[in-house]
Amino acid sequence: MVDRNGWGRDRHVLTGSLRRPPSSFVEQANVTESGIHEAFEENWPECWERAADLLSWSDAYDTVLEDEDAPFYRWFQGGTLNASYNCLDRHLEAGRKTHTAIRWEGKHGERETYTYRDLFVAVNEFAAALGDLGVEEDDVVTIYLPMIPELPIAMLACARIGAPHSVVFAGLSADALATRMAAAESEYLVTCDGYYRRGDAFNQKSKVDNALLGLEQDVQTVVVDRLGDDLPHVLGNNEHDYYDLVDAFAGETVDPVPRDAGDMLFLMYTSGTTGEPKGVVHTTGGYLSHVAWTSHAVLDIKPEDTYWCAADIGWITGHSYIVYGPLALGTTTVMYEGTPDYPDRDRLWEIVDRNAVDIFYTAPTAIRAFMKWGEEYPAQHDLSSLRLLGTVGEPISPRPWNWYYEHIGTENCPVVDTWWQTETGAVTVSTLPGVDEMKPGAAGPGLPGIDVRIVDESGAEVDAGEAGYLTIARPWPGMARTLYDGDDRFLTEYWDRFSNPDREEWRYFSGDAARVDEDGYITVLGRVDDVINVSGRRLSTMEIESAITDVPGVAESAVVGRSSETKGTDIYAYVSTEGGYDDTAAVREAIIDNIEAAIGPFARPEGIVFTPELPKTRSGKIMRRLLEDVANGEELGDTSALRNPEIVGEIQAEIRDE
């Protein structure tokens, strides 16, 4: 599906030149060994003991990796551990009771601080309450909470008693919740009455009631009273008030259950755009080792840092890098409720300033919004506490990368562009900020020990500078153990396409396309299903978008295919501009010039539609498929999963008026 000849042209336009991380950073970095990539290579898989050594094990493991059931790999077999012990007890034992674990920034300016001791107490009380409700080891507990402290508390309480959690993002619909609970046969649910969205009280419990109506199993529901008098609610059968439950177990402690390294720590459903959601199973030992190691080596987290990942815990980024990674390392993790532009567009910078945040991790979509709002918002605050910046979730093109580097990091902070997925559990491609040079637009080389191969349709590696499929040739500790829906689906979704079982050659397929340069740096081009074919030439919509967003004045863009009689598909672009760029005719001309320069005249869009915003899912991903339907004048399906459904009508009107 990937046209090797059509890719990788003018790659100097798409990626910037190498930049050395600031020496002030390197001098203090956790990992600085220049030969670390080679050292991992020579000592693989034992090199991964460095990750496991960051944890406290109840029983030491016998082997680092067992592969006889490949690709159902067993990491750290024989070892036992408890994730909540690793995130809590061991820090208390080390005399760090009064150190801040979580700093919570609420929607309306509320602030709460949990020391490690406070968090330990809260987790133990809720673990006792869960046990009293009947939750046993290996029972799946569904958690459907917004960004309030009870969310990580509930996760760690589950981990403490060996009950895997399945967190469902609070913004997902009742149907989505029901599908996930049914698939996991989950009989326990932790949720809340409601939460504040912008200024308004939003009723979460009514979504829960709808979801539970359709379920076969009986469910015990724990309800956090988040809104108090703003949304009075009455508890029904099998419903329990969170605070009443924990009050009944005040001061109680629960012994952490030792789990086998391969036991499930949690289940995370990926928001698949087609078909049933996939229940990705993560292990206790492998996953926790890998998130701790990458928190240490990539995010450079130290116990004395104030670290902030501005994601939602309802997705994998929040699991790995708000909860498990930072707490395993004993640092202070900030969690915030709300949005970056409420009450004003400087909300994040105000939080960085007030908390003297050292490390900040966010998504390109947010960075492009900051860029669109303008540098005056960060400029109002003192951001000099920052030491490292990170991005995750989508490709970031050089212009927003540079904006982030200059206006947030004031050229003093390395930027790590971390490529990974729900299924990889933790970061797999990134520069190591204390070791590797950065290249704006390219995520970086595979991390030490991670063997990324960019291959063509036949599985053969493509030449440097050419595009292909992003695959991983060897296992890694954070990898999904299987899919909860079944081992067969795990094989068909990720392994069948590029593996050769007869030769015992297993290769994980990510679903992404990427290009690797001579220097080994990987530029992720986007999902393979975002590839469009124009006149027999296959193009990455992401690559075109990168060319568009590099035009001054452009905030964001989404490129889709539109059926065309002459070309099969032609390119259709949706573009939002930064404030002050009202002359869309000039921007349009610059976009066309840039695309022609970056890719070629054949990549010139047939239509360019300007819109104030792009339609996005609640997790911030642009809904390209919907935009494709709009471009093709098709009936639109359900738009209720959108954060901003009203924008769709505006775009349709704009197209009609053209």
Beta strands in 425-507 (DSSP E): 452-455, 467-472, 482-483
Q: Does residue 418 interact with ligand WTA by CB under 6 A? A: yes
Q: Distance between alpha carbon 625 and the CA centroid of its chain, in Å?
A: 20
Copy the structure tokens of residue 61.
């493991």
Q: Does residue 549 interact with ligand WTA by CB under 6 A? A: no
Q: Report the half-sphere exposure of 40 (CA within 13 A, side-chain side).
A: 16
The least distance separating ligand WTA from the CB of residue 317, rounded to whole angstroms, comes to 5
Minimum CB distance to ligand WTA smaller for 271 or for 577: 271
**Cα–Cα distance for residue pair 270/422, rounded to 1 Å:** 7
Q: Tell which one of 194, 330, 393, 553 touches ligand WTA (CB under 6 A).
A: 393
Minimum CB distance to ligand WTA smaller for 129 or for 524: 524
Q: Does residue 124 interact with ligand WTA by CB under 6 A? A: no
Q: Which of 553, 554, 557 is closest to 543 using CA atoms?
A: 557
The least distance separating ligand WTA from the CB of residue 223, rounded to whole angstroms, comes to 28
Q: Does residue 527 interact with ligand WTA by CB under 6 A? A: yes
The phi and psi torsions of 244 (rounded to 5 degrees) equal -65, -40
Please choose, out of 29-37, 241-249, 354-362, 505-513, the segment that lies near ligand WTA by the rule CB under 6 A: 505-513
Alpha-carbon dihedral 68, 267, 514, 606, rounded to 10 degrees: 150
Copy the structure tokens of residue 478.
């954070």
The least distance separating ligand WTA from the CB of residue 606, rounded to whole angstroms, comes to 25
Pairing of strands 452-455, 467-472: antiparallel
Alpha-carbon dihedral sign for residues 459, 465, 466, 472: positive
Minimum CB distance to ligand WTA smaller for 88 or for 292: 292
The least distance separating ligand WTA from the CB of residue 169, rounded to whole angstroms, comes to 11
Q: Does residue 422 interact with ligand WTA by CB under 6 A? A: yes
**Cα–Cα distance for residue pair 44/256, rounded to 1 Å:** 32
**Cα–Cα distance for residue pair 369/318, rounded to 1 Å:** 20
Q: Does residue 2 interact with ligand WTA by CB under 6 A? A: no
Minimum CB distance to ligand WTA smaller for 91 or for 453: 453
Q: Tell which one of 417, 436, 543, 545 touches ligand WTA (CB under 6 A).
A: 417
Minimum CB distance to ligand WTA smaller for 293 or for 315: 315
- Decide: helix, strand or coil at residue 487: helix
Q: Which of 531, 626, 270 is closest to 420 using CA atoms?
A: 270
* 597-630 CB burial, b ≥16 within 10 A, e <16: ebbeeebbbeebbbbebbbbbbbbebbbebbbbb
Task: Calculate the alpha carbon distances from 285 to 57, 455, 532 in Å.
Answer: 9, 30, 40
Q: Tell which one of 317, 362, 569, 576 touches ligand WTA (CB under 6 A).
A: 317
Q: Does residue 489 interact with ligand WTA by CB under 6 A? A: no
Q: Does residue 512 interact with ligand WTA by CB under 6 A? A: yes
Q: Tell which one of 443, 447, 539, 631 touches ligand WTA (CB under 6 A).
A: 443
Please choose, out of 140-148, 179-187, 206-214, 419-427, the segment that lies near ligand WTA by the rule CB under 6 A: 419-427
The least distance separating ligand WTA from the CB of residue 510, rounded to whole angstroms, comes to 6
Q: Does residue 420 interact with ligand WTA by CB under 6 A? A: yes
**Cα–Cα distance for residue pair 231/486, rounded to 1 Å:** 40
The least distance separating ligand WTA from the CB of residue 395, rounded to whole angstroms, comes to 4
**Cα–Cα distance for residue pair 449/548, rounded to 1 Å:** 35
Q: Does residue 524 interact with ligand WTA by CB under 6 A? A: yes
Q: Does residue 305 interact with ligand WTA by CB under 6 A? A: no
Q: Tell which one of 419, 498, 509, 572 touches ligand WTA (CB under 6 A).
A: 419
Q: Does residue 365 interact with ligand WTA by CB under 6 A? A: no
Q: Distance between alpha carbon 557 and the CA centroid of its chain, in Å?
A: 21
- Decide: helix, strand or coil at residue 526: strand
Count of beta carbons in the 10 Å neighbourhood of residue 302: 17
Q: Does residue 530 interact with ligand WTA by CB under 6 A? A: no
Q: Does residue 540 interact with ligand WTA by CB under 6 A? A: no
Q: Does residue 415 interact with ligand WTA by CB under 6 A? A: no
Q: Does residue 193 interact with ligand WTA by CB under 6 A? A: no
Binding mask 269-298 for ligand WTA (x = CB under 6 A): -x----------------------------
Q: Does residue 647 interact with ligand WTA by CB under 6 A? A: no
Q: Does residue 485 interact with ligand WTA by CB under 6 A? A: no
Q: Tell which one of 8, 395, 409, 446 touches ligand WTA (CB under 6 A).
A: 395
Q: What is the DSSP string of 142-161?
A: EE---SSTHHHHHHHHHHHH
The least distance separating ligand WTA from the CB of residue 13, rounded to whole angstroms, comes to 18
Where along the sequence are the contacts to ligand WTA (CB under 6 A)?
A: 270, 315-317, 392-395, 417-422, 443, 510-512, 524, 526-527
